[in-house]
Amino acid sequence: MPEINYVREKMPVQDPSVRVRNFNEVALGYDAETAIKEASRCLDCKKASCKDGCPVGIDIPAFIKLIKEGDFNGAIAKIKEKNSLPAICGRVCPQESQCEKNCVLAKKGEAVGIGRLERFAADYEMRREKIKLKKPATSSGRKVAIVGSGPSGLTAAADLCQMGHEVTLFEALHTPGGVLVYGIPEFRLPKNIVAREIENIKKLGVKICTNMVIGKIYTLDELLNDGYDAIFVGTGAGLPYFMDIPGENLNGVYSANEFLTRSNLMKAYLFPEHLTPIYIGKRVAVIGGGNVAMDAARTALRLGAEESFIIYRRSDKEMPARHEEVEHAHEEGVQFYFLTSPTGIEGNEQGWVKGLNCLRYELGEPDGSGRRRPVPIEGSDFFMPMDTVIMAIGQGPNPLVPHTTPDLETNRWGNIVADEASGRTSKTAVFAGGDVVTGAATVILAMGAGKKAAQAIDEYLKN
Amino acid sequence: MTNHILFKIQRKVVLGPKLKLMDIEAPEIAAKALPGQFIILRTDENGERIPLTIADLDREKGIITIIFQEVGRSTDDLGEMEAGECLQDFVGPLGRPSEIETFGTVVCVGGGVGVAPIYPITRAMFEAGNRVIGVIGAKTADQLILQEEMERVCHKLHVVSDDGSIGRKGLVTAPLQRILDEEKIDRVIAVGPLVMMKAVCEVTKAYGVPTIVSLNPIMVDGTGMCGGCRVAVGGETRFACVDGPEFDGHKVDWDEARQRSRMFLPQEKAARECKGGGCTCRK
């Protein structure tokens, strides 16, 4: 029996002092030799609990075994049986709280780098330009409309297409991909990777219509009357929240959505070759502790901010951001102010941000989320001079589709009410999944929801 | 239901100095758009998303008409495009349509390039059976647009210019004030520069006449996603792209709206100079 190796192969990364000046990808990916070494750490457990942690149900030990044997084409084919976006998932899935969390090696050391191996297989295939496509089933003659081309919509589209249905994907923006394009920065998920994955989905036969704001150009009822037999709504969490504190409309205050959309989708970091402007001051405060906050704080540094701060009202332990993202932010020089929250934004006479009035907090009893509730410390208020403030405290569901579909039930936060197992909504023939149902979550959970809904839509269409 | 990806410029008309009209082939949008709504376009792959309120449409021919002033690099680029060429992107209809009802007597005020969006609203008010009084203005005669079109849909039309080269010399508020003194007005709708809309609202407030304005703030996606277009209305923050673009003018925080419109002035200047050759954008 070979010796158990508890130490994971290191991921080569761009040096922090270099990468903080560019938008190139931070993590560079394993080469073939490293991938085989890492894959060899897998114990190929009989009862592989890693599989239970995967929202789309990839046969993890099987694809890792193929990598170990050097059959990289076989590995990617195995992954693609379940996952249509492997190059994306290998990069942005929170594997540490999913598949890798269940790895037996994680009990005594480091889990197998499942995400890194998934990425390796996907990148290998892309480099080889030899994309193997599953042969679609014979045409069912049924038409499905997918609203929103983010992770849930892309997954549902790919699966439904392979089941033999005619799929049209409607996207409101000029580029498909949803949050993968407007939200997640280039340095974490290169846009050419997203474009390639979407090309593959198009090759399956999915028709993508950009510049189509469903709810405005067509309502769901109009789509159904026009010959679509079923609809999947995956419109995401596209409504930025603000804190409702004084000064939020000052110049220099952005929602994280606006800041990231300017930089990612509109490529403001390439201004003026790309004409969308972005303003970045010397000192930038990002309010929030999730992945979006990390993305904004790291983007700010790359855009030339001298100092970038994360201001979070709980402690580092409660931060919802992935550990890896927090670590990368630290390495790049992002400064963290925990147990701190702004009470107001001060502006100068011209209406520009001057700084933040903040309060210090301490942690009290656990709240509804199970995390300890932050309690303000009286008299602890202090001022932080700032030029730019970015609100990254979460996003709500985009209301355009629910507002124009009266018989589509929503909850009090505006999320579409949908059955967890099938995505079925209150409206016949309409299914929903992803952030518009769950509230802002992860790429892979949205993909899982898209997958389940595709299955349910397929059954619905057969009956 | 196929999305129309060739947004061809069918016709281009130079209306005045830096003022242009374009008919864009966009049948799906033309079939759906209502007065007061807007579109967003991009000229090319590197372009900004430019929001423009719809100036006119022809459902049969599948045409959306836009009228714009070349005020920066992106509108300069748009102005350089010619009939026969295609826009990169054209999306709409966005925003809520104007509230069109039979109110009684309605005054429609348009200033500068704002006459373009006030025209379809005026026509709809006219067709809804209102008595419609129009007030339009521009800096100079050659910058006044759509006078004939407005005459056809107004029971009475007042024309003003800053220099007196057409109509009466003065601002749109002068005839508006006279109208309000002379008769009972049930509603005022104003579209134009922020300073004009603010001035109109100050005049009508004293008479207690409901006044609707159409805002065109800085925005990116136009679907409520970025919040860049936020505007304070009655002390509440609203998104112009999905809650507007029309708001109760008496409740709009005009000073904040003006301040927010200036957020990217240095970058806008740099982008324009970059094209002109006097590039200062690369530090």
Half-sphere exposure (Cβ direction) of A45: Cα atoms closer than 13 Å: 15
Segment A16-28 shows an average pLDDT of 94
| Contact at CB, A226 and B1, closer than 8 angstroms | yes
Taking only the tens place, the pLDDT of each residue in B116-151 is 999 999 999 999 999 999 999 999 999 999 999 999
In the predicted model, is pLDDT for residue A136 greater than 90?
no
| pLDDT, position B272 | 83
Under-50 pLDDT residues of chain B: 1-2, 282-283
The rounded percent of chain A whose pLDDT value lies above 70 is: 98
CA A403 to chain B, closest CA, distance in angstroms equals 11
Taking only the tens place, the pLDDT of each residue in A49-67 is 999 999 989 999 999 999 9
Sequence-distant (≥ 6) Cβ neighbours of residue A14 within 8 angstroms = A22, A24, A25, A26, A28
| pLDDT, position B271 | 86
- Structural contact between residues A21 and A306, judged by C-beta atoms closer than 8 angstroms: no
Between B29, B46, B263, which is nearest A217 by CB?
B29
- Structural contact between residues A295 and A400, judged by C-beta atoms closer than 8 angstroms: no
Sequence-distant (≥ 6) Cβ neighbours of residue A425 within 8 angstroms = A233, A408, A409, A416, A417, A418, A419, A431, A432
Nearest residue on chain B to A216, judged by CA atoms?
B93
Between B32, B88, B223, which is nearest A400 by CB?
B223
Taking only the tens place, the pLDDT of each residue in A337-360 is 999 999 999 999 999 999 999 999
Q: Identify the band that residue A2 occupies on the pLDDT scale cut at 50, 70 and 90.
A: low
| pLDDT, position A3 | 78
For residue A252, which residues of chain B lie inside 8 Å, CB to CB? 263
Backbone angles phi, psi at A174, to 5 degrees: -85, -10
Return the number of other C-beta atoms located less than 10 Å from residue A438's C-beta: 19
CA B21 to chain A, closest CA, distance in angstroms equals 22
Segment A406-427 shows an average pLDDT of 94
| pLDDT, position B277 | 58
In the predicted model, is pLDDT for residue A47 greater than 60?
yes
Q: Does A98 touch chain B (CB under 8 A)?
A: no
Return the number of other C-beta atoms located less than 10 Å from residue B207's C-beta: 15
| Contact at CB, B271 and A351, closer than 8 angstroms | no
The rounded percent of chain A whose pLDDT value lies above 90 is: 85
Lowest-pLDDT choice from A126-130, A272-276, A317-321, B39-43 = A126-130
- Is A386 or B5 the better-scoring residue by pLDDT? A386
CA A412 to chain B, closest CA, distance in angstroms equals 19
Tokens, residue A308: 């970038």
DSSP state of A352: B
Measure the CA–CA gap between B245 and A461, rounded to whole angstroms: 40
User: What letter represents residue B175's amino acid?
Assistant: P
Which of A207, A217, A220, A269 to substitute to test the interface with B, most B CBs within 10 Å? Answer: A217
Nearest residue on chain B to A219, judged by CA atoms?
B32
- Structural contact between residues B220 and A276, judged by C-beta atoms closer than 8 angstroms: yes
- Highest-scoring range by mean pLDDT, A133-137, A459-463, B207-211: B207-211
| Contact at CB, A242 and B267, closer than 8 angstroms | no
Nearest C-alpha neighbor of A234 from the set A462, A57, A458, A448: A448
Domains and CATH numbers, chain B: 2-94 (2.40.30.10), 96-209 (3.40.50.80), 215-265 (2.10.240)
For residue A249, which residues of chain B lie inside 8 Å, CB to CB? 230-232, 237, 256, 260
- pTM, two decimal places: 0.93
Return the number of other C-beta atoms located less than 10 Å from residue B147's C-beta: 16
| pLDDT, position A132 | 60
Measure the CA–CA gap between A354 and A371, rounded to whole angstroms: 32
| pLDDT, position A366 | 87
Nearest C-alpha neighbor of B279 from the set A273, A279, A22, A278: A273
| pLDDT, position A133 | 62
Q: Identify the band that residue A128 occupies on the pLDDT scale cut at 50, 70 and 90.
A: confident
Strand order, beta sheet including A253-255: A253-255, A388-391, A283-287, A307-311, A335-337
User: What letter represents residue A6's amino acid?
Assistant: Y
